[in-house]
Structure 1
């Protein structure tokens, strides 16, 4: 499976919280979506380096990033929950990131683990 196929599989199963997701599927989906959300802010930052008059662009870049984040939050949670199932944990381990933001570090570390032996 290529990175593109894994990314598209994440969108196809965007509302499916059951089943399993491979490390490739999770990381390609997570990192590509992170890059898409950060892109408007990166363009704003580069424009600010060129000329400070482009600072007003933040009124476009920030809402666009927030809208993209809202669109992607449920599919990212779904692929994260499926990844937790793949390592033999409950999907709530990934969903805790909504309630305890610093738990994202723990959840991302858990997503690096190999699949549970009984799952594959």
Structure 2
């Protein structure tokens, strides 16, 4: 398993043709206290960069984008019940959705943790 990061501040944990997607520490810091999430529909197929979910905080609302073409296989119902998980554990219990990737190679262009850390530091 490996983890990659998008320029839109999502993380993607890759396991073969499957991936888990959530928002990064940087994203949840920028948003503030998350109060609501709108998760994608299980079984729906999205194209890369489609808005698949929405996260709303006390400060703003933001889209969560598909990192690659694929089909949503599961959503995090615990996050729907307790949106604050996106703040308290964004890289763990606060994941948004799982998906089957149409072409895992589409993720090759995403950043590794070192590159993302530098990118996020420059985004301030």
Q: TM-score, normalised by structure 2?
A: 0.25
Larger Cα Rg: Structure 1 or Structure 2?
1
Q: TM-score normalized by structure 1?
A: 0.25
Choose between structure 1 and 2: higher strand proportion: 2
